[in-house]
Amino acid sequence: MVGLDWMGLAPGARLALGEEALAEVTSYAAPCKKIAASFIEGDFKRISQKLHPGHSRLYARVLRPGRLRVGDRVRVLNGSDN
């Protein structure tokens, strides 16, 4: 998603995906040893929110499903937008 401020996302953030879908960030994903081979020198802890804030992966839940297409806009909503 080009232009999305990933470091600014946190649990509770809501994302409007395209014209229909809505998702909410639920938590940070803890790094796991099982994926260590995917990282240079096995340094999977570089995606730890505690060690490197803003570089973690995120979990989200779908609040409203919808059709998405390549190039659809993604917007971070504030409390009054949803």
Check pLDDT > 60 for residue 79. no
Q: Is there a domain that residue 82 lies in?
A: no
1: in domain? no
What's the total number of domains in the chain? 1
Using the structure block, give the residue that is written with the tokens 């802890």: 45
- Give a yes or no: residue 33 inside a domain: yes
Query: What is the domain range of residue 23?
Result: 6-77
Tell me, yes or no, whether 12 lies in a domain: yes
Q: Using an 8 Å Cβ cutoff, are 72 and 15 in contact?
A: no
Q: Which residue has the higher pLDDT, 17 or 51?
A: 17
Question: Residue 17's CB: how many other CB atoms inside 10 A?
Answer: 20
What are the tens digits of pLDDT across the range 52-65?
777 788 999 999 99
Phi (first) and psi of residue 38, to 5 degrees: -80, -5
